[in-house]
Structure 1
């Protein structure tokens, strides 16, 4: 976490509030780009075009308003990415049977060496009824969930 001495406010480099904005030469054309990097991250969260200055050669200098907008935009990009990742790793569906209603969940653990997933069931009161370890590519759908319930929540093959 940067402390007060690490705040930088230069024409092409701003560092504040856990973010660094760096104005860079755009490799694709004659223009400029700005890269937003969250402290501690190796890659930019956002890279976008940057406005030319009045001389039409150099970039417009960074300022407080532009930096604030860039932080907000880059934070939103990260938030969306986290939501997408969460949706990929955590799935759930509802299954209504004659006996009861169940919430069936699949939580994938993306371990580099040994990825796996937890398949679990809750009743209508959110009480966990079963939890078994399954392969990370287990397909959670109504058919498989019903089969698991019918098999008394034994671990699927």
Structure 2
């Protein structure tokens, strides 16, 4: 019985011998229904809502897909169209934008800012909510026109920052808020 596997040229073998065994090669998969490249995985799945197909984009390390959307049927009208470079790149761009918007929305929910004019100059008052699983809290901070911290107090995560409350805090000398 003869071995049909291709022979390895000596220069190929010596080149591989110098590669760092501890360095992980990039995990690139490019199959018709599964692509994994540059920290993203695109997977074509059966659409649970109808007879069609869907594609989900999952960022490495994330438990949930960042994007799930309809996927095109192939020419046979039964199977999905295979993934390709162009489609994968478009899906990565779209999923990245979805994540970016989600992060912006979360930041807007957890960070508020109010500007004040006082006798000592302009002041920014910020409220940063720290959504700790066990003990959430918020930090109310006063910053001068140069961004230097004037005062900071810990408040309840339900504290509502308004222009009037910030003004009252400043007029009271930035003391503790109950």
For residue 165 of structure 2, what is the aligned residue in structure 1?
A: 144
Offset of 1:135 from its aligned partner?
A: 0.5
| 2:125 equivalent to 1:76 | no
What is the rounded CA distance, in whole Å, between the counterparts of 1:140 and 1:17 in structure 2? 41
| 2:127 equivalent to 1:106 | yes
Offset of 1:5 from its aligned partner?
A: 5.5
For residue 126 of structure 1, what is the aligned residue in structure 2?
A: 147
Offset of 1:129 from its aligned partner?
A: 0.6
Candidates 25, 31, 35, aligned match of 2:46: 25
What is the rounded CA distance, in whole Å, between the counterparts of 2:92 and 2:30 in structure 1? 14
Offset of 1:124 from its aligned partner?
A: 1.4
Offset of 1:4 from its aligned partner?
A: 3.3
| 2:74 equivalent to 1:53 | yes
SS of 1:4 mapped into structure 2: coil
Offset of 1:146 from its aligned partner?
A: 0.7
- Write the deviation string for residues 89-139 of structure 1: whole angstroms up to 9, x where unpaired: 111110112442210000111100000011010111222110010001110
Q: What is the TM-score of this pair, normalised by structure 2?
A: 0.84
Q: What is the TM-score of this pair, normalised by structure 1?
A: 0.95
For residue 87 of structure 1, what is the aligned residue in structure 2?
A: 108
Runs of 4+ in 1 over 2 A off after TM superposition: 3-6, 97-100
- Write the deviation string for residues 36-94 of structure 1: whole angstroms up to 9, x where unpaired: 00001000000000000000110000001100000010001001101111111111110
What is the rounded CA distance, in whole Å, between the counterparts of 1:99 and 1:144 in structure 2? 18
Higher RCO, Cα 8 Å, sep 6+: 1
Question: Whose radius of gyration is greater, 1 or 2?
Answer: 2
Structure 2's unaligned 5+ residue stretches are: 1-23
What is the rounded CA distance, in whole Å, between the counterparts of 1:94 and 1:59 in structure 2? 54
How big is the alpha-carbon RMSD for the aligned residues of Structure 1 and Structure 2?
A: 1.0
